[in-house]
Amino acid sequence: MHNFSRMRSLLGLLLGMLFILSACSSTELSMKPISSSKTVNIGVTYSPNTLNPLSPVGQVSSYISGLMYLPLFELDQDLTFKPMLADSITTMDHRLFTVNLNPSAEWSDGSPVTADDVVFTLELMTSREIASSYAYMFAIIEGTDSTGFKLEGKSALAGVRAVDKHTLTIKTKEPTTLTIVQDTIGRNLFTLPKKALESVQVDQLRNGDFVQKSAVVSGPYRFDSYERDQLVQMKANAAYFKGAPRIGRLNFKIVKDEALADQFESGDVDLNIPSFGVIPINDYGKIKSLPNVTAVNGPSITTQFMYINEQELPDARQRQAISYAINRERIVNDLLRGAGETVDGLFTSYSPYLDPSVKQAEYDPDKAKSLLAESGWVPGTKLTLSVLSGDSTLEQAAQMAANDLKDVGIDAEIQVINLAPLIHKIVEKDYDLGVMTVSMSLVNPLPDVSYFLQEGNPNGYRNPEVDKLLAALKSETREADMKRTYSRLQQIMAKDVPMLSIYATRSLGVVNHAVTGVHPSDYGMFIDVQDWDIKR
């Protein structure tokens, strides 16, 4: 996979538009007015960077895109798929999938959302000219290559066809599960209006500039303004087909994590997205004692992964040594104060695919030193440990890990860096070690696991058996066989250590008592956002 495709995939895992200008249509003018005095402020600690629904950068960007352009399905906090733009996806043979759209779905200009709109958007998502960072999610569709782009020389996507106004079919390359189709295509396709955009230039579509010139949305909110790295303001879509939102304005406030506690206390922030409005562990006690909010620890979803550049550390014994050198339990107990768990591999305890028989590497500095000596490591050799900024807890954990590495003879110098340049360094393999927060799909980890382990991954790792296992997973339809294959992958990772995990956090979800109808969660938080209300 070339560098461009690798960057696309990493942006899809982790990581602009300014505003929408349009006169209200006659349909919208006849709608019941929404009280603009009702505003809810959502605190996030990661900037959305760019908000192009064809190529979201980071999860915050995806949340905001989905509020404008609904996905077909969304996953709720119980890991159940809920219909959004679609009523259902069905299949008889695990290759041909029928998507039935909600017949009531409408654009904000009053026109219906159709199968042609969905096909139009799929064509854009898989276009090399658009170069979507999410294209890899669509690589299961017939007519795409392994990176999710349409096959060279093909102008149309062979596996997609509109059957009628509200029905389309999607054919996959190999048999696959309904869950995988719902999770990849269902959750990551933000359908755009064909009629409004089919004549728009490619550059405007690729850069997201088209949003400034069209107020046609299918979701509950549309853009009002964006102050980069500070504030995203959204205003309600009175024509939303599921019901006009009660909250007139929805703001995403980008704040430093250490400022969130004070913002909750003052009422300047009403709620957070737990894993993306990250509250430092040191502030958990303060926030839980505030009389105006409810705070709840969530499950372990986000994992702190350490990328390892195998150009710098080609010997598996060196990578094993790094894993043995880091005292994960000390990080969880002393830094996280128990609000997390140690992780050594792909999955947290929240994942149905975790194999508990694959033991974690225990803290053993003597073993780490021995492995390094066997590999010919020169004690005191310097490495750069690049760390994602924006999460003070992560920065402290990285420093603790660097101290542990120094004790065994690896001099890791911390470099705190913003998301975009860090992604660039990792994709280009211009790094030694890199620590980033990753939220891997719980119900369908295959796209993420493939990105980390298949050819072209940012670690430079290659194992023919792993390639075969990943290929088998792409066409597997039985859950028991999938679990066995994921178990084998975990065994190989424990031996090869292509990358390692340090810990997973149980992020704190917080909501002001004045806000009703919302439960802060990484999954499904915005499914019924039109029913949120605020009383104050």
CA 445-16-532 angle, to 5 degrees, is 70
Distances (CA, A) of 227 to 16, 62, 134, 332, 390: 10, 18, 25, 36, 18
Sorted by where each begins, the domain ranges of the chain are 11-246, 299-506
Q: What 3-state DSSP class applies to 448?
A: helix
H or E stretch covering 49? none
From 3.40.190.10, 3.40.50.20, 3.40.50.300, 3.90.1200.10, which CATH number describes the 11-246 domain?
A: 3.40.190.10
> Quick one: pLDDT at residue 19?
27
Q: What's the pLDDT tens digit per position in 167-200?
A: 999 999 999 999 999 999 999 999 999 999 999 8
Q: What is the DSSP string of 111-161?
A: PBP-HHHHHHHHHHHT-TTTT-TTGGGGTTBTTB-TTSPBPTT-SS-TTEE
In 10 A of CB 278, how many CB atoms?
25
Nearest to 398 by CA among 276, 304, 321, 493: 304
Residue among 120, 71, 193, 263 at smallest CA distance from 63: 71
Residues in the chain with pLDDT values less than 50: 1-9, 11-34
State the amino acid at position 506 in one-letter form.
R
Q: What are phi and psi of 89, to 5 degrees?
A: -130, 125
Whether the CB-CB separation of 60 and 232 falls below 8 Å is answered with no
166-181 exposure pattern, b = at least 16 Cβ within 10 A, e = fewer: bebbbbbbeebbebbb
CA–CA gap between residue 247 and residue 530 (Å, rounded) = 7
Strand 249-254, strand 231-236: pairing? antiparallel
DSSP per residue over 307-320, as a string? EE-TTT--SHHHHH
pLDDT digits (tens, 9 = 90+) for 295-345: 988 887 789 999 999 999 999 999 999 999 999 999 999 998 888 899 998
**Beta strands 433-439; 499-512: pairing state:** unpaired
pLDDT for residue 5: 42
Instruction: Give the β-pairing of 221-227 and 167-171.
Output: unpaired
Please determine, looking at this structure, whether the domain spanning 299-506 carries the CATH number 3.90.1150.10: no
Q: Which of 301, 307, 316, 388 is nearest to 347 (CA)?
A: 301
Fold match flag (11-246 vs 299-506): no
What pLDDT does residue 214 have? 66
Single-letter amino acid code for the residue at 228:
R
